[in-house]
Structure 1
Amino acid sequence: MIHKNLILIIILFGQLLTIMDIFIINVSIPSIQRDIHASNGEIQFMIASYLIGFASFLITGGRLGDLYGRKKIFVIGLLLFMLSSLACGISANALQLVISRFIQGISAAAMAPQVLAMIQILFSTHEERTKAMGWYGITIGIGTILGQFLGGYFSSLTVIDESWRLIFLMNIPICLPAIFFSLKLLKESKSPVKKSFDILGVFILSTGLFCFTYALTAVEHAGIGWQNILVIIISVGILIYFIKNQRTRILKNRSYLIDFKLFRYQNFNLGIIAVSFFFIMLDSYFYILSLYFQDGLKMNPLAAGEIIVFQGAGFILASLFSPGMILRHGKNVLIAGLSLISLVLIIQVLVFNTQTPFYLFYLLLFLHGVGVGSIIPSLANIALSGMPESLVGNASGVYNTFQQVAAIVGIVAVGSVFYYFLGEKPTSGDYHIAFTVATFINIFCLVLVMIFIIKVPDHILPKKRMLRM
């Protein structure tokens, strides 16, 4: 058991890096823009390039792990992440930093599916896996908080010029021991069926996902234009062609990228739908909350950041205690968590204004984090539960892809509604109306998540007394 837990710590370092570097750049934007003389558009693309690379190659990363070995692809991902972090840290201009961040996102896409896949393989019983997924959730919470904290800390150092470079260079001393211990302790696992790799499928899928995520990100920053709409239509066409191409290759017994047997598992379908609506809610919530705090309620960035930290604290606490509760009460814990988030959102609409005492902000964000932390680890557990070892890497990649694309869709879709109700010259009252409308869209998403959780068969998240039968 000690050996298993040590292996879990090692692979969770990959997850920590993946999450941390999504957030670590945000606080450092002003310093980076000043030092490398980047335009606003270049800065926006710098932030987006990591997510675009990440979302575009997750399915490919999962399939590579299935075919060539999850340990091997995980280590390659760590090595590539370290080298791309070094490239980010020594970038001389905006273009170099954008390209390096894109490669960093691809390397994260190589690691992330292996983390979920190896947890499913390493921890075979429901009780062990539930506890391991709790630590997976804790890692997400720590990565979120640590990314924002370290981004601000390193950017504010005065011991060296252009200290923001340390936010990337710090990944090197994390990656080196992770690579060493991964090579030393991880056991190799891969699909027993030997197949060649579908390079054409990678190109088609990555092109489609790249165009789709790029267009969505462009809409977020530049608004809806005919160019972005055209790119989205083209990307949808490419993805439809990809699905037809994969079905044809499977029928002809040729190599493929996605095994459609995944979608024969009811819990997998319910899991990816649930995680999609949940992340539409979650990422759009953080996006809109930041705008509402700073522009609507006139908070300074430091005060807004302090409040968000309480959400992360609640997330970590819930991830620590929710596994035991899920083992005792099953999916009722998830339903309670969704209900808690919905209630907190309603209260936020009613009480958040310029007169609200800060302790109330802290409390409500903390409770929001408790609700989120009780749900996220179990969504992955639902989707991957009972998945054969030959499919688990592919399933992890598809699951992560739905999650990341849904996050971008949420920011664009709910954000667009928020800006619509804001108007051209918004007052504080307009901000509250826009926040209210966006929040109730998020609550609607939570209701949909709850419906799909209720549909999950009881044996997927069995209660402890059922485990003893």
Structure 2
Amino acid sequence: MKKYRKWSVFLIACSAIFLSVLDLFIVNVALPSIKTGINGTDADMQFIIVMYIIGYASFLITGGRAGEYFGKKKVFLAGMLIFTLASLFCGLSQSATQLNVARFIQGISAAFMVPQGMAFIPGLFPDQKERIKMLGIYGSIAGTASVIGQFLGGLIPDLEIISQSWRLIFLINVPIGITAVMLGFKYLKELPVKTTGKFDFIGSLLLMLTLTAFIYPLIQGRELGWPIWSITLLLLSGVLLLVFIYYQQLGVGMGKLPLINSGSFKNFDFRMGLLISLFYYLVQDSYFLINTVNLQRGMGISSARTGIYFVCQGLGYVMASMFFTPLVTRYGKSVSLAGSVIMITALLFHLIVFNSNAASQLYIGIVLFVYGIGCGTILPSLMTISLKSIPEDKMGTSSGIYLTLQQISVALGVALVGGIFFSKLQHPVLISQFSVAYQWATLLNIGFLIVVSALLLLMSKMKQT
């Protein structure tokens, strides 16, 4: 295959990760505008993020296996087409319920299209060195999508192209998605399928029900004053979790391919890496939620300017990931520990700088940039810490477990930290309440990052002894 043809097919494959990441980050900055447009509640803002993640996390492993069973090209095109249609429905939604149902479908379709996009890379670049290089570019495209998403998420709602310009943050996916489907149909070549074994749809459904029964009452229950049904759902989520674990163990005993194979958990690095990642990802998207709302509603900063501020964070992330990622192989967990310390320090400065309506624009940009440096220092190494000693035959299953836990942690963080933030806002909401709410929520995120630092130190000491 000619080089330019390889690059063309590679970019088509990358459209899946680009759209999925763009759609997650573009929403973060636009949440206040969306809330106004659909007459939503604070809980609805959390669900706009969470419903996408629940759909994505529940079917991520199943989506990867579906490509092996039905054909990666077919699943890629089907996932991209459904994602595009769901984006159209998001942009046309007239209520919070309609929007969040469409977001849920977006998440499920992303879970099927993203794994296929990555699966095309080994066939396009069989040389190991070239493949590693292209995987790095693949990751850079995801990072670039996050920066573009934050910028557009702030800019688009302030445009006066249509009466409710926030709808365009979803509608811009439509031409991109249609183009990707048309080019993918023409240029992508189908990879060999594996018809042995079955993918675990029942396990995916059980995981989805467990996550929904746990996260939904955490968000909606707080909004409604913790009615009995919310407590009942929380208890039911525990029962569903036990059923899910039993079903997975039953599948292993019967020789089936379970959604999550418990054998990976016998690996010390994997267990500790998952625990560290859990606490880190509790912070990741909850940070964007509380800062977006505080900047726009608490400090009166426009959506467009908020987007520009978050671009500062994104640039810090990209720069740090490019510089510090190569140092992980040499200095190990010390690099990750440095990243968590930088993030904690930056959040402490957030509490100072973001506590004033007259905060300097320069200082806001600087603290966001430093926070991004911390993220870019620790985040790229988390998956390496978790998977570095996993045997090759368990790598696929283990990476699927890691990515699923990553998304579950993000949703849980939005529910917990967002819940603390919004619980401090009384009705009617006063501007002075945002400062208190922001302090409580940010202190909780600092606590999570302190746990991350402590676990990294513990892991280093246990390895030395």
- Which TM-score applies when normalising by structure 1? 0.79
SS state at 1:195 partner: coil
Q: Percent identity?
A: 36
Corresponding position of 1:376: 379
Corresponding position of 1:209: 211
The residue identity in structure 2 corresponding to 1:212 is: F
| Structural mapping, 1:388-403, within 5 Å | 391-403=394-406
SS state at 1:283 partner: helix
**Does the Cα contact within 8 Å between 2:316 and 2:370 map onto a contact in 1?**
yes
Corresponding position of 1:467: none
Corresponding position of 1:353: 355
Corresponding position of 1:326: 328
Corresponding position of 1:150: 152
Distance 1:71 1:82, change over 3 A: same
| Structural mapping, 1:403-442, within 5 Å | 403-418=406-421, 432=435, 434-442=437-445
Q: 1:330-388, CA deviations, whole angstroms, 9 ceiling, x for partnerless residues?
A: 33322221121122222333444325322111111101011112222222233344556
SS state at 1:356 partner: coil
CA distance in 1, matches of 2:458, 2:115: 25
Distance 1:396 1:229, change over 3 A: farther
| Structural mapping, 1:443-454, within 5 Å | 443-454=446-457
In the TM superposition, residue 419 of structure 1 has moved relative to its aligned partner by 5.3
Q: 1:85-112, CA deviations, whole angstroms, 9 ceiling, x for partnerless residues?
A: 2344455766554433321111012234
**Does the Cα contact within 8 Å between 1:314 and 1:366 map onto a contact in 2?**
yes
Corresponding position of 2:370: 367
CA distance in 2, matches of 1:280, 1:373: 16
The residue identity in structure 2 corresponding to 1:381 is: T
Corresponding position of 1:235: 237
**Does the Cα contact within 8 Å between 1:314 and 1:369 map onto a contact in 2?**
yes
**Does the Cα contact within 8 Å between 2:156 and 2:304 map onto a contact in 1?**
no
**Does the Cα contact within 8 Å between 2:298 and 2:431 map onto a contact in 1?**
yes
Corresponding position of 1:340: 342
CA distance in 2, matches of 1:321, 1:150: 26
* From 58, 61, 73, the counterpart of 2:60: 58
In the TM superposition, residue 70 of structure 1 has moved relative to its aligned partner by 4.9
* From 36, 49, 54, the counterpart of 2:51: 49
The residue identity in structure 2 corresponding to 1:285 is: Y
Corresponding position of 1:463: none
RMSD of aligned C-alpha atoms? 4.1
In the TM superposition, residue 136 of structure 1 has moved relative to its aligned partner by 5.0
**Does the Cα contact within 8 Å between 1:85 and 1:100 map onto a contact in 2?**
yes
Q: 1:436-458, CA deviations, whole angstroms, 9 ceiling, x for partnerless residues?
A: 44333323322322344456689
| Structural mapping, 1:87-106, within 5 Å | 87-89=89-91, 96-106=98-108
CA distance in 1, matches of 2:241, 2:352: 42
**Does the Cα contact within 8 Å between 1:88 and 1:97 map onto a contact in 2?**
yes
Gaps of 5+ in 2: none
Corresponding position of 1:293: 295
CA distance in 2, matches of 1:118, 1:456: 35
- Which TM-score applies when normalising by structure 2? 0.80
CA distance in 2, matches of 1:156, 1:364: 24
Q: 1:5-38, CA deviations, whole angstroms, 9 ceiling, x for partnerless residues?
A: 7666444321221122124345666776787x66
Q: 1:386-416, CA deviations, whole angstroms, 9 ceiling, x for partnerless residues?
A: 5566644443432232222212222332344
| Structural mapping, 1:22-37, within 5 Å | 22-25=24-27
Distance 1:340 1:64, change over 3 A: same
Distance 1:92 1:302, change over 3 A: closer
Of the structure 1 ranges 362-371 and 94-103, higher mean CA displacement relative to structure 2 is found in 94-103
The residue identity in structure 1 corresponding to 2:237 is: S
2:21 is equivalent to residue 19 of structure 1: yes
**Does the Cα contact within 8 Å between 1:215 and 1:228 map onto a contact in 2?**
yes
The residue identity in structure 2 corresponding to 1:145 is: V
Of the structure 1 ranges 414-423 and 18-27, higher mean CA displacement relative to structure 2 is found in 414-423
Corresponding position of 1:108: 110
Corresponding position of 2:255: 253
The residue identity in structure 2 corresponding to 1:109 is: A
In the TM superposition, residue 148 of structure 1 has moved relative to its aligned partner by 3.8
CA distance in 2, matches of 1:250, 1:258: 10
| Structural mapping, 1:134-149, within 5 Å | 135=137, 137-149=139-151
CA distance in 1, matches of 2:137, 2:434: 37
Gaps of 5+ in 1: 461-469
CA distance in 2, matches of 1:187, 1:267: 36
Of the structure 1 ranges 358-367 and 15-24, higher mean CA displacement relative to structure 2 is found in 15-24
Of the structure 1 ranges 100-109 and 291-300, higher mean CA displacement relative to structure 2 is found in 291-300
The residue identity in structure 1 corresponding to 2:331 is: H
The residue identity in structure 1 corresponding to 2:401 is: V
Of the structure 1 ranges 373-382 and 356-365, higher mean CA displacement relative to structure 2 is found in 373-382
Distance 1:13 1:317, change over 3 A: farther
In the TM superposition, residue 168 of structure 1 has moved relative to its aligned partner by 3.0
Distance 1:149 1:298, change over 3 A: closer
